[in-house]
A and B are shown apart, each in its own frame.
Chain A
Amino acid sequence: DAGVIQSPRHEVTEMGQEVTLRCKPISGHNSLFWYRQTMMRGLELLIYFNNNVPIDDSGMPEDRFSAKMPNASFSTLKIQPSEPRDSAVYFCASSLGTVRDFSYNEQFFGPGTRLTVL
């Protein structure tokens, strides 16, 4: 299995531009998570999906951030307009499991997208 795939791996953009981060989860996984990691705030959960449905988006910083999961094999995280304080590493992770399922299922992380907003 190729693991969780994220693209791009690095993104440098200017303030005000739209940024789209992409994620392909591991085939068969039904949960997908978007995280943001910074030195100041650590690893923050932004949003997670279960069976393509957003379950909890309380971590999304503000309306400039949006996430979609149109099908089981693809998700996007969009920032519009981007700001310098959005600079971070954005991780996508996937796992098996459902909202009511309590079995052992670790998260598998993608390599991350390092975003720099100038």
Chain B
Amino acid sequence: AQKITQTQPGMFVQEKEAVTLDCTYDTSDPSYGLFWYKQPSSGEMIFLIYQGSYDQQNATEGRYSLNFQKARKSANLVISASQLGDSAMYFCAIRHTGNQFYFGTGTSLTVIP
């Protein structure tokens, strides 16, 4: 069964520090994509970053980077220089051939001033 596991229901980080949000996945497909989304308190889902299973390098988008360890089936999100506006729920998701997405249960991040 394909699934996403996010083991940290809640995380706290000091402003300007870096934080890592964990995500592990389970799939038997050789081809897949991993996505991270942010959901602030206003409720919208915002796409952050993508990693393809065949990508050789870890994805980066501004302050977001993805620590992709294929053998361990993990795709952790690293947010550098945390800002107060980073406080939100963060969801990891996997997409397989078949175009279906599976989302994790999310991690609530609180940035402390």
Interface residues, chain A, with chain B CB atoms under 8 Å away: 31, 33, 35, 42-43, 45, 48, 50, 55-56, 89, 91, 93, 95, 97-102, 104-109, 111-112, 114
A42-B106, A43-B91, A102-B31 are known contacts. Are A109 and B99 too (CB-CB below 8 A)?
Answer: no
CA distance A111 to B45 in the complex (A): 8
Min CB distance, A88 to chain B, in Å?
12
A104-B50, A106-B35 are known contacts. Are A42 and B43 too (CB-CB below 8 A)?
Answer: no
Secondary structure of the A contact surface, majority rule: strand
What would 16 A/B residue contacts be, using CB atoms closer than 8 Å? A33-B101, A43-B91, A45-B102, A91-B45, A93-B45, A98-B99, A99-B99, A102-B31, A102-B33, A102-B96, A104-B50, A105-B95, A106-B47, A106-B50, A111-B43, A112-B44
Closest to B47 in A: A106
- For B96, list chain A residues within 8 Å (CB): 102
Closest to B44 in A: A111
- For A48, list chain B residues within 8 Å (CB): 99-100
CA distance A86 to B98 in the complex (A): 28
- For A97, list chain B residues within 8 Å (CB): 99
Flag whether B103 is at the interface (Cβ < 8 A): yes
- For A33, list chain B residues within 8 Å (CB): 101
Flag whether B97 is at the interface (Cβ < 8 A): yes
- For B33, list chain A residues within 8 Å (CB): 102, 104
- Cβ A43 vs Cβ B44 within 8 A: no
- Cβ A50 vs Cβ B99 within 8 A: yes
- For B105, list chain A residues within 8 Å (CB): 42
Flag whether B52 is at the interface (Cβ < 8 A): yes
- Cβ B97 vs Cβ A100 within 8 A: yes
